[in-house]
Amino acid sequence: MLNSDKVNEIFSRFAAHQVDPKIELIYKSPYTLLVAVILSAQATDKKVNEVVPALFKIADTPHKMIELGEDGLKKMVSSIGLYNTKAKNIIAMSKLLVEKYNGEVPDSLESLESLPGVGRKSANVMLNTVFGHPTIAVDTHVFRVSNRIGLCKSSNPHQTEEALLKIIPTKWRKPAHHWLVLHGRYVCKAKKPECNKCIISDICQYDAKRLEVD
């Protein structure tokens, strides 16, 4: 496990490399981000971004999504994996927002997790990206990178989240999720990490570093 000085150095380098990291999903409001996040489960942001611009031209509020209906939504997102279940959840989520939250996306973990199709990771994405909370959403990239480089040794996403909140300095917590996601997506890849391009390779504790150039 990395000590506090090395953890701080990792995030200092991330900050110098990318001052203000952003989520890569296309959205224009808290509601549209929530829809995009639900669609992104077990799918790539790239795939979701191919679909949502056209969708949001038609349905960018809960009321409009309900009007579009489950069948109409399925047709628009059919290229995304698990689209039947996701469409069902998005319509149910939209109805609940209208009935319980006056059409607005709530800003608490408990309320977000009560929405159909929204788990802890998705809820933390919303809290961080929309509401500015220093939460850390643990997706496959964050889980892999955190364990690989030595930020934690955990066996599930919830353990990873708890460990990261303890070890990451307060000043880095809000952007930490985005840095780890982007690092995992473009550098510390699952099958073939590009260690020779990594800005923290000298700190990383990964045993199978690939420092040679292919």
- Average pLDDT along the chain: 96
Burial of 162 (0-12, 13-18, 19+ CB in 10 A): middle
Statement to judge: residues 85 and 147 lie in one domain = no
Distance CA 162, CA 153 (A): 11
Statement to judge: residues 190 and 123 lie in one domain = no
- Cα four-point dihedral sign 84, 87, 91, 92: positive
Evaluate whether residue 203 is within a structural domain. Answer: no
Q: Nearest 5°: CA angle at 158, between 155 and 162? A: 100
List residues with catalytic annotation: 121, 139
Q: What is the pLDDT of residues 19-62, one digit of tens each?
A: 999 999 999 999 999 999 999 999 999 999 999 999 999 999 99
Evaluate whether residue 88 is within a structural domain. Answer: yes
Evaluate whether residue 101 is within a structural domain. Answer: yes
Kindly state the percentage of the chain with pLDDT values over 70: 98
pLDDT for the residue 22 = 94
Section 13-20 average pLDDT: 96
Evaluate whether residue 205 is within a structural domain. Answer: no
Q: Which residue has the higher pLDDT, 213 or 77?
A: 77
Distance CA 110, CA 53 (A): 29
Range of the domain at 76: 30-129
Statement to judge: residues 13 and 47 lie in one domain = no
Contact 71, 81 (CB under 8 A): no
Q: What is the CATH number of the domain that holds 179?
A: 1.10.1670.10
Statement to judge: residues 62 and 120 lie in one domain = yes
Q: What is the pLDDT of residues 134-175, one digit of tens each?
A: 999 999 999 999 999 999 999 999 999 999 999 999 999 999
pLDDT for the residue 211 = 66
Which amino acid belongs to residue 129? T
pLDDT for the residue 213 = 52
Which ranges of 102-210 does DSSP label H, i.e. alpha helix? 109-113, 120-129, 140-149, 157-167, 173-186
Q: Which residue has the higher pLDDT, 147 or 207?
A: 147
pLDDT for the residue 128 = 97
Section 203-208 average pLDDT: 92
Evaluate whether residue 163 is within a structural domain. Answer: yes
Q: What is the pLDDT of residues 91-145, one digit of tens each?
A: 999 999 999 999 999 999 999 999 999 999 999 999 999 999 999 999 999 999 9
CA 65 to chain centroid, in Å, comes to 23
Statement to judge: residues 155 and 177 lie in one domain = yes
Statement to judge: residues 147 and 190 lie in one domain = yes
Evaluate whether residue 113 is within a structural domain. Answer: yes
Instruction: Out of 95, 129, 163, pick the residue that ends a domain.
Output: 129
Distance CA 56, CA 11 (A): 35
Statement to judge: residues 78 and 8 lie in one domain = no
Evaluate whether residue 11 is within a structural domain. Answer: yes
pLDDT for the residue 208 = 82
Statement to judge: residues 36 and 94 lie in one domain = yes
Evaluate whether residue 210 is within a structural domain. Answer: no
> Predicted confidence band at 183 (pLDDT cuts at 50, 70, 90)?
very high
Statement to judge: residues 164 and 182 lie in one domain = yes
Instruction: Out of 129, 160, 179, pick the residue that ends a domain.
Output: 129
Statement to judge: residues 35 and 125 lie in one domain = yes
Residue 212 has pLDDT above 70, yes or no: no
Statement to judge: residues 11 and 79 lie in one domain = no
Distance CA 192, CA 91 (A): 38
Total count of domains within the chain: 2
Statement to judge: residues 56 and 104 lie in one domain = yes
